[in-house]
Amino acid sequence: MPFIPHTEEDVEEMLASIGAASIEELFDEIPPDLKTGNLSRVPPGMTEMEITRLMHERAQADGFYLNFIGAGAYEHHIPAAVWQITTRGEFYSSYTPYQAEASQGTLQLLYEYQTMMASLTGMDVSNASLYDGATALAEAALMAVRQHKTSRRILVPGTAHPTYRKVLRAIVRNQDIEVVEIPFDPESGQVIPEQLDPFGQEEFAALVVPQPNFFGVLEQVDTLTDWAHKKNSLVIAVVNPMSLAMLTPPGEWGTKGADIAVGEGQPLGIPLSSGGPYFGFMACKQELVRQMPGRIIGKTVDLDNKPGFVLTLQAREQHIRRSKATSNICTNQGLMVTAATIYMSLLGPEGLRRVAAQSHANLLQLVEKLETIPGVKRAHSGFCFHEAALKLPGPIDEILQALKAQGILGGLSLQDYYPALSNTLLVCTTETKTPVDLDKFGEVLGKILKKYK
Amino acid sequence: MPFIPHTEEDVEEMLASIGAASIEELFDEIPPDLKTGNLSRVPPGMTEMEITRLMHERAQADGFYLNFIGAGAYEHHIPAAVWQITTRGEFYSSYTPYQAEASQGTLQLLYEYQTMMASLTGMDVSNASLYDGATALAEAALMAVRQHKTSRRILVPGTAHPTYRKVLRAIVRNQDIEVVEIPFDPESGQVIPEQLDPFGQEEFAALVVPQPNFFGVLEQVDTLTDWAHKKNSLVIAVVNPMSLAMLTPPGEWGTKGADIAVGEGQPLGIPLSSGGPYFGFMACKQELVRQMPGRIIGKTVDLDNKPGFVLTLQAREQHIRRSKATSNICTNQGLMVTAATIYMSLLGPEGLRRVAAQSHANLLQLVEKLETIPGVKRAHSGFCFHEAALKLPGPIDEILQALKAQGILGGLSLQDYYPALSNTLLVCTTETKTPVDLDKFGEVLGKILKKYK
Amino acid sequence: MLIFEHSRPGRRNYSQSPTTPAEKQAIPQNLLRKSPVLLPEVSEMDAVRHYTRLSQKNFSIDTEFYPLGSCTMKYNPRACNALAMLPQFLARHPLAPEDTGQGFLACMYELQEILKDVTGMAGVSLTPMAGAQGELIGVMMIRAYHEARGDKKRTEIIVPDAAHGTNPATAVMCGYKVVEITTDKEGNVDMDALKAAVGPQTAGLMLTNPSTLGVFEKNISEMSRIVHEAGGLLYYDGANLNAVLGKVKPGDMGFDVIHINLHKTFSTPHGGGGPGAAPVGVAERLLPYLPIPMVAHEKGVYRWLTEEDVPQTIGRLSAHMGNAGVLLRAYIYVRLLGAEGMNRISQYATLNANYLMAELRKAGFEIAYPTRRASHEFIVTLKEIKERTGVTAMNLAKRLLDKGYHAPTTYFPILIPECLLIEPAETESKQTLDAFVTAMKEILQEIEDQPDMVKSAPHNMPLRKLDDVRAARELDLAWKPQ
Amino acid sequence: MLIFEHSRPGRRNYSQSPTTPAEKQAIPQNLLRKSPVLLPEVSEMDAVRHYTRLSQKNFSIDTEFYPLGSCTMKYNPRACNALAMLPQFLARHPLAPEDTGQGFLACMYELQEILKDVTGMAGVSLTPMAGAQGELIGVMMIRAYHEARGDKKRTEIIVPDAAHGTNPATAVMCGYKVVEITTDKEGNVDMDALKAAVGPQTAGLMLTNPSTLGVFEKNISEMSRIVHEAGGLLYYDGANLNAVLGKVKPGDMGFDVIHINLHKTFSTPHGGGGPGAAPVGVAERLLPYLPIPMVAHEKGVYRWLTEEDVPQTIGRLSAHMGNAGVLLRAYIYVRLLGAEGMNRISQYATLNANYLMAELRKAGFEIAYPTRRASHEFIVTLKEIKERTGVTAMNLAKRLLDKGYHAPTTYFPILIPECLLIEPAETESKQTLDAFVTAMKEILQEIEDQPDMVKSAPHNMPLRKLDDVRAARELDLAWKPQ
């Protein structure tokens, strides 16, 4: 009976108080014919010692690799303090802060988080997080439609993360929202603002602008933002928060700034961990705040006028508004945001900038190095942040296999996502890659590619 | 400047307040000719990311083995909760609890520890720990000499841990204390009480009784205890605390019980960790408490008569008594004791008993299995706890090498410690070894030993 | 003090970012950030100290009894955290090849299989990242099912008035109209109301069983028959699965789709409000619509199922495969428990709830459904007390904080006035429940003797009662430098 | 509430021990335990909750400013903890073959080399497990040196009256007579007293420099000459090394042997009173006596040095090689710092101490040695205040707790009446020091306005002042079942 403290004596006394003869009797309101709960396919319990050994063995089997895959999930150094504090029981095992007086730890931290994210994105306000970057985009689209009122059309460029686009479609399709894909320039790997006009003929609720885009390429965000605003549409920025330490924040794009900024918070102190849990962030202009889904923390005072923090704007939420809520979302990714807030505090503005700058510099270094290998060249001409697509002179799956055999995960094959991009590798570098790592990648790849000359 | 928070502005303001022109000026009382502190052989600083990678690489290089070495340090399962709580900042980064009102966490925990150890050893009182098992034995010897008053002779059997005996000698030799070694029976691997009388002719302060002894063999503790008491000497028990969940505690040995019980606390939730930090424990009879070295926690009340805990009997200690202190010891191994206390709380009496019983049963199983291999037989006839010496039919170093090549650390070669015990292997099993592990050891060893048939 | 108030310009942690500024840069000037980022400039110690102290201001399972109804606040085993955070698991990229993640994928596959058994369902997908997303995905599958059959007239989802707010909100997100049906005096769904609501326009019924009122819907088989006969599907909100784990399988009750809150029944941490995880399970007929990715096991190898394997899938609902690390924790938990351990969860959760209900009744509290067994939770109503003394359920909740207990859920379900929904969970001992009853009795006495003191609670917390109204009226959502 | 009071007979954690009782047993009946073991029978959650809550009752570096003089309470980097606890390091058996521990041994070897450089010594052994053991080992080497030379008349160790109590206690443990010498008005060792004390009977002088009075012994070279000329050796108590790290090497001051408190200068955690680690360093002439094991690096391989390599060693002083995990933490710390980082430690520790001294003097506190520079610590005396108001140093210390600061060291060094030894350490910011000064000023005012309130402090802690006298008189060292 792991985790159950009851002694036989306890059970007897408790049943006596209830007036029941057995625990089974407490289930007497369940129709007997339904009691079929035989868990024949659940294995017997293990001790902690046994499961510890099993999990260690499985972890060992998975091993470690020198990783150059990015594509929406990025390997950054995470200070040891981040998770040692985040997994303290008081953060780890508490619930949503419904009783504000007993949850000031989480509430103040979330308020600090909102402050950081609002500044990082250049927006007025931030919520306390959503599930992940992809669902945050979908929520932003729903929000834009609610705000725009007359159009249910969302323009999304083909340079946006392919999975994000799939998630967006899956979520909004039941609400009669149309997702229109905008083409991109295969040469530069960017959306060309001049080619947008056909899509703006008809009214649309919002234009999605990814920065950097899925190819790692930087979009012409100012022009795109102003174009959409001229059409009385909203602009939804999808951004890598780490890049914002270097790049113009969405709130400053074009003349008026993007209206909503969303993205994947993972680069801010969250381990790769096979894809989750991460967290989506969402920030917006002040006038949109009541359309924003998810938890929002506000500062207030107590009876003695001392400052404190509470969940606020709950009138938007499903437990009050039920079928009229802005979203069905109730949890955020609280623990991940705890980690991200501690991460940002430890890095500070200059630290975050250096991490971003080094990630970027490493990409330039790597691309330069790899382009010296015959047959390797950049797939796109646009400026990049810390990720770039490279054309390879041979079958990419075979090349990736060969790299893996030497302990290197060389990047992502783009073919599965963009059939036109055959033998194209999306490589990513973060600050974790040393000059030795970059050299090793170059050398190993060079040797592998010799056979395709 | 890792870990130093000062901004340039801070430094200027601080120097202005002091009235100094530079930080260097603050060192103006140090004679200039002494300022030679050029750290030419200290490498430049690393970032946390860099040292993280280095340490991961070194840890990977050291790897994991299926371990059958014991000999004073034992691999037991440690519940995950133990170290997650122990490394909480409030335990990890606090000092010795000098300000009791601000240290009730540590103080209450140590009081609980003392209670547990007193019960486990069957003694009246326990201190709050010493450095390790070996130094705890030395402190016990000093304590016995102080108590006995007329003799400075300590009898120690050859079955006591060889390193403990070395540490004992090294520490007591400067105080004119004589350590006399008692022989043991090579057949049974035990001290034979009947052969002790020659050593009891002359007065002695204490007899040391290891249980189980270094060979894993159980000594005849009742007879030994009564013999020493009859000579008006003290009995110092050196015990494995895990074994006490099964074995008669020192406080119940013979007619009157041992006077002092010491040992290595490592089996109680402390990782092997290349040998430390562990902790020594010491418990004794009430009448010896004022001779006991190390920190001791007492229960008391505050001004409102609420119960609380303080460091007590400080009049014995060096910071009050200086040259007249019972020992120079001031720290204990507080954090290790924190872990051990949580460990014992999680295991409880029945859990600890099962761990001990399974460790013992596994040894019987393993020995039975290995003795089916031609040429392998037990070196001693005495009953064992969870460790036993085995004679092998070939050169032990070669055999251990061959086992290691298959991922098995087969045990300790006894030859280095007891030249007479050539080709003898000290093997240990704890509850961590599964039937599959025991079979694997048997199979692999069987194959290796084929060549020595 | 906010972390920003510890900040000083120019302070930084030299260990935590590259030592020397990057040399290369190739980004056009117009794309470079000019405005400063408002992050704190604090030392590592200041950050550690600030957040360690903040953490101490939280109530949590690791520090207090937390009988929050409908939230299943049980012990979160520390082993689950430690093992899910083994370095290799943390380091693995979601898009790394499958052969570099066979250990991880094995855990996911086995978790799918175990959840199928537990729920009595034919298939499970692990992707949903929270209960609400599990619901969304569940209703999306219901919609996909009807659409695939060309059955386009089904425009309504039926929801009991006691349901979680997420149920109606979810139905709306899937383009459905919500039809609320009433509850009878015994806490069951009003069968006449159900019959009246059901029709050819019914896409499905969303139900929690045991319900949020803490009682088992005895007529579930009949309800299932009515809805199915009308062509609708049954959705099981798994929020209360803890109450019947190993006793009744939702599949056996006739449900077609279920989400399972792993952060409730399977004890993954609540983390101050997430991340959760809520795998969905479906009956045979909904199998084709399950969201991807799922894990398959073929010839000893684990691999992801994609659109090619599940062509009718409702698609992808997360950037990768959901909250993998949460799933790992749940996997470890179920392996620790085993089948026997799971059976015991519902037994002891039910025992605790019924005992606490009995003791509180004896102490003088009014139970909302006194004739019913409690499931793993039950409702106390302060209606009479409020009318007589003016003390509200929220006042009592705040007073409980003073006594070192987290408050139960208040004002939910909304149909019970001045209610407290109390769920002790199976991991609490009788001694803790007894101490809680003592505290509740003390408050009952305080309500009689000094109602104003109770109304102005809390008194022993670092802050007194906080002003929610002001928070919403004078919105302050981000700190601004002075 | 004690953990034992949560206990109930028969309760246990089924996950934490073997599921089925062991089958085999072969131990004679008379050796088997009959009496029960008094361990608590609690659930995993109760244990986690109990110890989590207990932890919250501690002040610590991670939660409060902790200016405990002579203890160097600085930030303990979390990375040191995380990396020293990598699974492979934790799993390694101390007697495992050297080739299974090359990664670990490399760290130990490099730490030895770094400490040699830092101290200016010819050799270092890492084995001592605490400052007091480092002292013991240091004096044992002094004795071994004299004995090896047949110099048997040396029976005395000279110790300043300001020294740590461990110094005289250690000398006695090594069989020496202790000769205490006085301090002059400026806080230096009285040179006349030293000259008078030194002679052919002098085995050595134990000294902390900077001294425990917080000042640098300016005459150290002269002292060194005097002791050496008399044939004695100089022992450096490394407790205050933080003050001069990278500025002055003890070897250059003429010391023959030193212990280095890694838990002070090199920031390994204090852990509520240990484990520490205190490697010893020696000058050339003491090399043969260093305790084993030490690590050697030969042909790219690391190995332990044993008695065979160091035949004159004073021997082994721990069961294995000392507090390995603490040494790993120190190694990680020194690599994070590097040479530059070490230099800065002494600079900023000294800046903080002198600034705090200046500010407290301005606030009206009496400084014990007002004409001297503070080293990394300094002394405030409440002698005048005590005489005038009856408020003691201990009263002020307790009142500081009320204000959220750990108290400085009180009543040490013993030659300064009513003293507070204050050491802020380099990791505290000016803002924290300023806030501390504000609190001290408030107390100064409180002493004037409401001395009785100060005398009965603390008032805001979970407990009021505890009765030490009763604790020692009515010894209660273990809980007994009621």
Q: Residue D96 is part of a domain; what is its CATH number? A: 3.40.640.10
> Among D288, D312, D337, where does a domain finish?
D337
Specify whether D169 is located in the same domain as D308. Answer: yes
Q: Give percent of chain C above pLDDT 90.
A: 97
DSSP A173: G
D66: Cα within 13 Å, side-chain hemisphere: 30
Specify whether D152 is located in the same domain as D299. Answer: yes
Whether C362 maps to a domain, the answer reads yes
Element spanning C87, H or E: helix C87-91
Whether B407 maps to a domain, the answer reads yes
C479/A100 CB distance under 8 A: no
> Among D278, D311, D337, where does a domain finish?
D337
Specify whether B290 is located in the same domain as B364. Answer: no
Q: Give percent of chain B above pLDDT 90.
A: 93
Neighboring chain C residues of B84 at a CB cutoff of 8 Å: 78, 81-82
Whether B23 maps to a domain, the answer reads no
The ipTM estimated for the assembled molecules is 0.97
Cα–Cα distances in angstroms (integers) from residue A75 to residues A267, A429, A432, C93, C94, in the given order: 7, 8, 7, 8, 11
Q: What is the mean pLDDT of residues D215-226?
A: 95
Q: Is the pLDDT of residue B319 over 80?
A: no
The domain tally of chain B equals 2
Specify whether C165 is located in the same domain as C305. Answer: yes
Q: Give percent of chain A above pLDDT 90.
A: 93
Specify whether A271 is located in the same domain as A378. Answer: no
> Among C286, C319, C337, where does a domain finish?
C337
In 3D space, the residue among C206, C209, C320, C322 whose CA is nearest the CA of residue C268 turns out to be C322
Neighbours of A227 (CB within 10 A): 21
Specify whether B247 is located in the same domain as B385. Answer: no
Whether A404 maps to a domain, the answer reads yes
Say yes or no: B3 contacts chain A, CB-CB below 8 A: no
Q: Is the pLDDT of residue D333 over 70?
A: yes
The domain tally of chain D equals 3
How do the residues of chain D divide into helix, strand and coil, expressed in percent and rounded to 5? 40, 10, 45
Specify whether A144 is located in the same domain as A184. Answer: yes
More confident of the two residues A327 and D345: D345
Q: Is the pLDDT of residue A330 over 80?
A: no
Q: Average pLDDT, whole number, for chain C?
A: 96
Say yes or no: D304 contacts chain B, CB-CB below 8 A: no
Whether D264 maps to a domain, the answer reads yes
Say yes or no: B88 contacts chain A, CB-CB below 8 A: yes
Specify whether C196 is located in the same domain as C274. Answer: yes
> Among B307, B342, B377, where does a domain finish?
B342
Specify whether D196 is located in the same domain as D302. Answer: yes
Q: Average pLDDT, whole number, for chain B?
A: 96
Size of interface C-D (CB pairs under 8 A): 64
Q: What is the pLDDT of residue B300?
A: 98
Q: Is the pLDDT of residue D181 over 70?
A: yes
Q: Which chains have 3+ CB pairs within 8 A of B?
A: A, C, D
Specify whether D333 is located in the same domain as D350. Answer: no
Q: How confident is the model at residue D250 (pLDDT cuts 50, 70, 90)?
A: very high
Whether D69 maps to a domain, the answer reads no
Q: Which of B48, B60, B77 sits opposite A77 (nearest CB)?
A: B48
Specify whether A197 is located in the same domain as A102. Answer: yes
Q: Which stretches of chain C drop beneath a pLDDT of 70?
A: none
Specify whether A161 is located in the same domain as A231. Answer: yes
In 3D space, the residue among B171, B188, B187, B189 whose CA is nearest the CA of residue B179 turns out to be B171
User: What number of helices (H) and strands (E) belong to chain C?
Assistant: 14, 13
Q: What is the pLDDT of residue A314?
A: 83
Q: List b or e across A125-142, with b for residues whose CB sees 16 or more CB atoms inside 10 angstroms.
A: bbbbbbbbbbbbbbbbbb
Preceding omega of A249 cis (within 30 degrees of 0): no
Specify whether C259 is located in the same domain as C353. Answer: no
Distance CA A110, CA A104 (A): 10
Preceding omega of D9 cis (within 30 degrees of 0): no
Specify whether C358 is located in the same domain as C232. Answer: no
Whether D123 maps to a domain, the answer reads yes
Size of interface B-D (CB pairs under 8 A): 692
> Among B289, B308, B342, where does a domain finish?
B342
Instruction: Tell me the per-residue pLDDT of D430-480, one tens digit each, with 9 for 90 and over.
Output: 999 999 999 999 999 999 999 999 999 999 999 999 999 999 999 999 999
Q: What is the mean pLDDT of residues D30-42?
A: 97
Between β-strands D301-305 and D294-298, what pairing exists: parallel, antiparallel or unpaired? antiparallel
Specify whether A273 is located in the same domain as A406. Answer: no
Q: What is the pLDDT of residue D482?
A: 81
Q: What is the pLDDT of residue A318?
A: 67
User: Domain span at residue C462?
Assistant: 344-468
Specify whether C440 is located in the same domain as C348. Answer: yes
Specify whether B312 is located in the same domain as B390. Answer: no
Which of C15, C45, C434 is the best residue to mutate to test the D interface, defined by the most D CB atoms within 10 Å of its own CB?
A: C45
> Among A281, A315, A342, where does a domain finish?
A342
The runs of H, that is alpha helices, within A326-424 are: 334-370, 396-405
Whether B13 maps to a domain, the answer reads no
Which residues, 6+ apart, have CB-to-CB distance to C68 below 8 Å? Answer: A95, A98, C406, C407, C408, C409, C423
Which residues in chain B (86-145) have CB-CB distances under 8 A to chain C?
89-90
Instruction: Tell me the per-residue pLDDT of D51-110, one tens digit each, with 9 for 90 and over.
Output: 999 999 999 999 999 999 999 999 999 999 999 999 999 999 999 999 999 999 999 999
A421: Cα within 13 Å, side-chain hemisphere: 24
Bridge-partner residues for A389, per DSSP?
A426
Which residues in chain D (21-50) have CB-CB distances under 8 A to chain B?
21-28, 30-42, 44, 47-48, 50
Minimum Cα–Cα distance from A82: chain D residue? D78
Minimum Cα–Cα distance from B346: chain A residue? A3
Say yes or no: B48 contacts chain A, CB-CB below 8 A: yes
Specify whether C111 is located in the same domain as C129. Answer: yes
Whether D273 maps to a domain, the answer reads yes
Specify whether A291 is located in the same domain as A420. Answer: no
Whether B5 maps to a domain, the answer reads no
Query: How far away is chain D from the Cα of B149, in angstroms, using its nearest Cα?
Result: 16
Q: What is the pLDDT of residue A216?
A: 98
Whether C197 maps to a domain, the answer reads yes
Specify whether D294 is located in the same domain as D398. Answer: no
**Domain containing C456 — which CATH number?**
3.90.1150.10
Q: Which position has the token pair 């002083």?
A: D317
Q: What is the pLDDT of residue B37?
A: 67
**Domain containing B402 — which CATH number?**
3.90.1150.10
Which residues of A141-285 form beta strands (DSSP E)?
153-157, 178-182, 206-211, 234-239, 260-264, 280-284
Whether A25 maps to a domain, the answer reads no
Which residues, 6+ apart, have CB-to-CB distance to D73 below 8 Å? Answer: B93, B95, D61, D66, D67, D270, D406, D423, D425
Specify whether B375 is located in the same domain as B317. Answer: no
Specify whether A272 is located in the same domain as A125. Answer: yes
Say yes or no: C196 contacts chain A, CB-CB below 8 A: no
Minimum Cα–Cα distance from A84: chain D residue? D78
Size of interface A-D (CB pairs under 8 A): 58
Neighbours of D465 (CB within 10 A): 20
Q: Give percent of chain C above pLDDT 70.
A: 100
Q: List b or e across D83-93, with b for residues whose CB sees 16 or more CB atoms inside 10 angstroms.
A: bbbbbbbbbbb
User: Domain span at residue A382?
Assistant: 66-75+350-452
D429/C48 CB distance under 8 A: no
Q: How confident is the model at residue D350 (pLDDT cuts 50, 70, 90)?
A: very high
